[in-house]
Amino acid sequence: MNASMPLVACHECDLLQYEVPLSPGGVLRCRRCRAELGRAHPDGVDRPLALTFASMVLFVIGNVFPIVGLAVNGDLVQTTLLGAVRVLYRDGMWPLAGLVFVTTFLMPLLQMAAMIHLLVPLQLRRLPYRYDIFVRLLHLARPWGMTEVLILGMLVALVKLAHIASVVPGVALWSFGALMLLLAAASAAFDPRALWQRVEAAHRGAANTGELAAPSVRTAMRYGLLSCHSCGLLVKSGTHHDDARCPRCGAGLHVRKPESLARTWAFLIAAMVLYIPANVLPVMNTSSLFGTEKDTILSGVVYLWTSGSWLLAVVVFIASIAVPMLKIIALIFLVITTQRRSVSLLQGRTRIYRVVEFVGRWSMLDIYVITILVALVQFNALATIQAGPAAIAFGAVVVLTMCAAMSFDPRLIWDATEVDRA
């Protein structure tokens, strides 16, 4: 193995290893925990740029035209995504309105804008202006953009609306469906190494770690190296770890995430407290000629099941009831075993962490269903739907469990194996 090859530190177990050249479409994985370290994209600039521009066009169409309409007695009620957010805000549900706005509008827009800002100069063989800021913005926006969850929420809402009145799918519904596919394809095709190769060519020698050999079981922490979570650069640590900044993208550098376990516990305890009202209190209040009905999350699942939509009932039950509870249990297990410095099931616990991090966003499904129903079922004397207090509590549970997963540092799982190594 050539010692001059660049080193990479696994972001999940901190193992140092060589970044070997990959064939087009190849994937580089950590040899200890099997985390993905890199992927070779045959066209890391042109393809994601084209997909991102197409996504931006669909995003504009999806937010200008109605998503869906509801026809009752000759009256047609239509709503856009921002119109649905406005209805929630008008009804006093501003925390819910803000959450929907951020996850379905602001973050996807920020992700596309950051990618365009980075990719257009690369296409012109130039260095993007303030690439460091936009790389961090892209890193921030990706986990919180939930277009794919919004689409599934729209489908569940359409099934419920079909039992109330005639449903008229809008142009925006198809636009968001295509946007989901194109945005996912653009993110998968984007190769940040094309950017960093140009940056390193312009700023040669910003962080030199190439002279270090990578032994079989040595971590970046053992070598006094800090790994940037935004761009992956390895930087020699100084005496003040808390003040360290990545010389390439400007992100803060830490040996491990600061107060990782304490912050994870804080988010988990808050999520457990709110999980009870989220499932006990009404998530929707329906007023009609026949009276007032209060629905919980579980009653919504029962309604889908009894109406014949068994598959959607299972999906909603898993996403809205089972996933939040299992995430909390899984994170508690990870925190406790990490605090006890357990050396058993290291790979299994790392896989649990990956699953928890991946499924977190899908719990937003019920929030989007409520958003569509509240915006459309506004027929005054005939029927109206308003979001209940459980919607805010449930939205907070989703955000808190996602923050708990982001606060947990999976490298701590593997640190227990390094205690007795010389």
pLDDT attached to residue 340: 93
- Do 322 and 231 reside in the same domain of the chain? no
Rounded mean pLDDT of the chain?
Answer: 84
pLDDT attached to residue 124: 86
* Euclidean distance between CA atoms 71 and 167, whole angstroms: 6
Average pLDDT over residues 128-146: 90
- Do 270 and 411 reside in the same domain of the chain? yes
Average pLDDT over residues 220-225: 82
Average pLDDT over residues 176-201: 83
Looking at the domain assignment, is residue 1 inside a domain? no
Long-range contacts of 331-336 (CB under 8 A, 24+ apart): 331/264, 331/268, 331/356, 331/401, 331/404, 331/405, 331/408, 332/268, 334/408, 334/413, 335/261, 335/264, 335/265, 335/268, 335/408
- Do 218 and 340 reside in the same domain of the chain? no
- CATH for 412: 1.20.140
Q: Look at residue 415 and tell me whether its pLDDT is greater than 60.
A: yes
Q: CB-based contacts of 377: which residues, under 8 Å, 6+ apart?
A: 70, 77, 161, 164, 286, 383, 384, 385
Highest mean pLDDT among 188-197, 225-234, 325-334, 370-379: 325-334
Please report where in the chains the tokens 């706005």 appear, as a residue: 101
Task: Please count the structural domains in the chain.
Answer: 2
- Do 213 and 299 reside in the same domain of the chain? no
* Euclidean distance between CA atoms 82 and 102, whole angstroms: 11
Q: Look at residue 328 and tell me whether its pLDDT is greater than 90.
A: yes
pLDDT attached to residue 242: 60
pTM beyond 0.85, yes or no: yes
pLDDT in tens, 33-55: 888 888 877 777 888 999 999 99
Q: CB-based contacts of 409: which residues, under 8 Å, 6+ apart?
A: 256, 257, 260
Looking at the domain assignment, is residue 121 inside a domain? no
**Alpha-carbon separation of residue 404 from 98, 190, 233, 328, 395 (angstroms):** 20, 27, 25, 9, 14
- Do 318 and 413 reside in the same domain of the chain? yes
Strand 284-288 and strand 291-295: the pairing is antiparallel
Q: Look at residue 298 and tell me whether its pLDDT is greater than 90.
A: no
Looking at the domain assignment, is residue 32 inside a domain? yes
φ and ψ at residue 17, rounded to 5 degrees? -155, 165
- Do 210 and 358 reside in the same domain of the chain? no
- Do 341 and 373 reside in the same domain of the chain? yes
Looking at the domain assignment, is residue 232 inside a domain? yes
- Do 221 and 352 reside in the same domain of the chain? no
User: Which of these three, 218, 243, 268, is where a domain ends?
Assistant: 243
36 pairs with which residues across the strands? 29
Of 265 and 127, which is predicted with more confidence?
Answer: 265
pLDDT attached to residue 267: 97
Average pLDDT over residues 158-187: 87
Q: Look at residue 422 and tell me whether its pLDDT is greater than 50.
A: no
- Do 305 and 374 reside in the same domain of the chain? yes
Looking at the domain assignment, is residue 139 inside a domain? no
Of 219 and 282, which is predicted with more confidence?
Answer: 282
Domain that holds residue 276: 257-422
Strand (E) or helix (H) holding 71: strand 68-72
User: Which of these three, 186, 219, 243, is where a domain ends?
Assistant: 243
Looking at the domain assignment, is residue 313 inside a domain? yes
- Do 309 and 364 reside in the same domain of the chain? yes
Confidence of residue 214 (pLDDT cuts 50, 70, 90): very low
In terms of Cα–Cα distance, which of 261, 300, 298 is closest to 280?
A: 298
Looking at the domain assignment, is residue 192 inside a domain? no
Looking at the domain assignment, is residue 167 inside a domain? no
Confidence of residue 223 (pLDDT cuts 50, 70, 90): confident
* Euclidean distance between CA atoms 77 and 98, whole angstroms: 23
Q: Using the 8-state DSSP alphabet, how is residue 322 labeled? A: I
- Do 219 and 359 reside in the same domain of the chain? no
Q: Look at residue 184 and tell me whether its pLDDT is greater than 70.
A: yes
Of 126 and 405, which is predicted with more confidence?
Answer: 405
Percent of the chain with pLDDT over 70: 90
pLDDT attached to residue 329: 95
Confidence of residue 419 (pLDDT cuts 50, 70, 90): low
- Do 317 and 215 reside in the same domain of the chain? no
Q: Look at residue 105 and tell me whether its pLDDT is greater than 90.
A: yes
Out of 69-78, 135-144, 247-256, 335-344, pick the least confident: 69-78
